[in-house]
Amino acid sequence: MQNTWSIGELAEMAGLSVKTIRYYSDSGLLPVAERSTGGHRRYGPQALNRLRLIRQLRSLEIPIAAITEVVTGERSLGDLMTGELLATQERLSQLRWRQATLQALDDCPPDVRLNRLQILSRVHKLPEARQALTHHWAHSLPADMPKRWRDRMVALLSPSPPDNPSATSALAYAELHLLIAAPGFTRWTQDHKLEMRDAPSFYAQVDHAAELTIVSLLHGLPPGQGGPVPEWWTPLSPAPPGGGEEGSLMVMKVYSPEFKADAVALYLSDPSHTFEGIGKDLGISRETLRNWVRAERVRRGESGTTNTKEVPVSEATRQELEAEIAALRAELKTVRKENQKLATERDILRKATKFFAQEMTW
């Protein structure tokens, strides 16, 4: 059986031209088994197998340079496929964006086409477009904004381009860049310096408000649009010109009856709960929670003290308390079950803070 072939024989078996095989051989892609007495190259089975691999990869339009890295062992075939897949996905993303852009220009009336072209041309390079948004907001937000707030706001205000854009979404994303170029659009970040003279206090108060939502989240109440501001919440008051420190942005720490009731119920739901522990979880002081519990016990006709000394109660009252405790324990079990679904309390706080950041108006 013949173990080597001439270049012509190899070309016939591989279904390629002699010129192509000579090019691959000169490029170092094909191993030469030996040379004939006349000095001509002869190729073995390894060269034939490699030719088949090269032909299969070329059918996928893999560049010769990348194929060379595979056949020489510099790169694995799996790594090549992963890299080509990522590159193809990137090209598809660019083509989808180009299609959406052209569709937006094709669908508009002739008299607005030139103006729309000027808008869409701002985002013809997507990576640079996202970086432009990020850079703008990173330098436009108040300098005294805490870093964690700044990072969240920049992320919210600098969205990534849509993965599968339509003509409408492509135009909307381009208009974001048009807006930040308008001097008046970002003026709201600078027009509140007078009101924000006590910025640390303001951000601390908003953080505190976000923490108060933890109880609602633990009870299964999802974030949603709020109703009218209740009477028990003192609104934010801007600092009047020349008003001095008295005009600092402040929020009165007054809590709703519902929050008080939830806090007391949470404390009473488990004998192991402490004022300090529950107060810390809810963002209130130990003494505040103690006073709420005392008031609730007085309302129920129980002892106003917080010691464990038993107070004689009627059988009806005892049954009522036992039923209430059982209900609270059942509710606590539900709360704990829901809480297990959350990775950490930090995740809850981040979700709540993000919600407040989206709803906040300047």
| DSSP string covering 47-72 | HHHHHHHHHHHHHTT--HHHHHHHHT
CB count in 10 Å sphere of residue 124: 13
| Long-range interactions of 23-29: CB distance < 8 A, separation 24+ | 24/51, 24/54, 27/64, 27/68, 28/68, 28/72, 29/54, 29/64, 29/67, 29/68, 29/71
Whether the pLDDT of residue 264 is over 60: the answer is yes
**Separation CA 68–CA 127 (nearest Å):** 30
Tell me the two tokens of residue 49. Answer: 């197998």
Q: What is the pLDDT of residue 196?
A: 59
How high is the pLDDT of residue 125? 80
Phi, psi of 147, rounded to the nearest 5 degrees: -60, -40
Which residues, 6 or more positions from 48, have their beta carbon under 8 angstroms from its beta carbon? Answer: 5, 10, 13, 14
pLDDT per residue over 31-51, tens digit each?
A: 776 777 677 788 888 888 888
**Which pLDDT belongs to residue 90?**
86
- Which range, 23-37, 242-256, 267-281, 294-308, is most confident? 267-281
Q: Does domain 7-75 have CATH number 1.10.1660.10?
A: yes
Is residue 150 exposed (0-12), middle (13-18) or buried (19+ Cβ within 10 Å)?
Answer: middle
Report which listed range, 234-238, 295-299, 354-358, is most confident: 295-299
Q: Is the pLDDT of residue 326 over 70?
A: no
Q: Hey, what are 128's tokens?
A: 């640079």
Prediction pTM value: 0.48
Per 3-state DSSP, the chain is made up of helix, strand and coil in percentages (nearest 5) of 65, 0, 35
Domain ranges of the chain: 7-75, 91-186, 192-362
CA 235 and chain centroid, separation: 31
pLDDT tens per residue, range 201-228: 677 777 776 666 666 666 666 666 655 5
